[in-house]
A and B are shown apart, each in its own frame.
Chain A
Amino acid sequence: MRDDDLVTLIAVFVPFSLLSIGGGSAIIAGIQHESVAVHGWISSREFIDLFAISRAAPGPGTMLATLIGWKVAGWWGALAASLALFLPSSLLCYGVIKVSNAHKAKRWHKAMREGLAPVGVGLVIAGVISIFRLSGGGLVAAAIAVASAAILTWMPRFPTLGILVLGAATTSALYSLGD
């Protein structure tokens, strides 16, 4: 581990933290450019692999930064990159909700929460549409998603992990049958 590696990791990821408006997908291209072309930490091929791993792993997709830090400088690199990516945006978020909650009793605050709720729901629907298109899963994807939602609607106590296992079992079975 070299100290200047850690400093560079922090210097690269802190700005990305504050630029990642709308979530992690906004900064993937930028992270790729910095870590492959500018700093030469990893090859293009390695970047794609790390991206795929960060998607397959549980947790937010931006854990990609953790993996890059790990490749560059081991455990300390992973820690430095993670803190650099998550801490600045988290502090900003906390500040914003503190300011807005200071007016919790006011009528406009209630109207704001009520008015933002349908916007949030619309954004989730938009997210479902884009993930569905990106997945290229077609009818199988739609059927599994609808079935999962139906199970949770009619059996609210059904374990969430069980839903994921059923999904994996279905596509695995289809894959084996297709062989």
Chain B
Amino acid sequence: MTTALYSLCAAGAWVAAGYKLSATRRLRDPTVTAVCVTLALMGMVLTASIPPLRVWLDHQLASVNFGVLLTLVCVVAFSTSAQVMLLLWTRTAEDARGAVRNRLIALAGVVVLMTALFLAAHPGPHDHSFSRGSAGNLGYAACLLIYLAALGIAMLAIARLGWRYARLTDRPLVAHGLRLAAAGSTLVLAYCVYRLGTLVGAWFGRDTAYPETLLRLIAGSGALLIMLGLTLPSWGPRFVHGIDHLRRYARYRRLRSLWQSIVAGRHPELVLEHSTARALRRFAPGELHFRVYRRIIELSDARLALRPYIDPDARERARLLTRHLDEQERSAIVAATELRSAVRAEQSAAPAGHESPGTEPAPLDGDVASALAWWARVARAYARSEWVAEALAAPTDADVYAATPGSPRRPG
């Protein structure tokens, strides 16, 4: 399971870094470059941590657990990159230049120190015990402390900045991304604190059993959340548009039976173009938007054409029955009742015998999306609303007033 998790996280980090690389080339912005490098280094860390790969790396150089050393160095590099990213966020490029240079110099120094300590320490063949190899081995313990400190500092900084600026940004996807990154950093920070505890415990001879798989799951999940958070604002809009498109298509399909009933079946002269396009073509974004628009207009035209046949009594009954509902639902049910009563009267070629009543005003503001949502409600009510059926039947006034919320006769 650890192999699968780290492989997935590593793949995700490399994809995210590649995604940001294209933006780096296009925008030539040092902050974007810093995000890209941070993600790439996260990919290096996770790749080197995949157990089979780590074991293979450990055996490539005689007497040196190269896999462990590579992981430690990559973590320190990742921490430095994350700190540079945060510096470039919180300062202008000119103000951050000095601090960035200092961080890079410190990185070089720490890498040299860590490598020297590691080589001098000669830790034993790598096993899955993080701390046991350090007990009594000062050099190795120092390496592990540097590793934990570097990772912990970076995670703490990302978590603090992420939570803060998630509240302050006015872009919803950036806010969600920062929250995800902050949550991921918090998980990895918890991993660091626990590892520190076991390291200190091992040094004092307390070798407590701890769930290694669970710890790696926490660290891997934290890394995944950080990756998602740093890239969500880039791919999020496409994802949101994709969901919107699916929702729009579902609502368009829901209008079909109503459109067949009152437009294609009764007033075909209102149809601009009978579609013979395949379903796949109808689903294409540009084509779907046009078809949704046409469907709404044709339904509106049919609604006007059916006005002389509307039964005003049925409409009043529908208004009374639904007076406790919110405006959108109430107006949709009343409109569906009007249409049902008008279709019924038109079929019997008998206008209602009164001056043409107006139609129930639709609570719409000129927006296609809200019109589509409203007509989807009308279509649903037209097809199967018990309120509509009740309004079209001809009860006495007493029955209508009795059908109030809480009354046992109130339809569901």
Check if A and B associate.
no
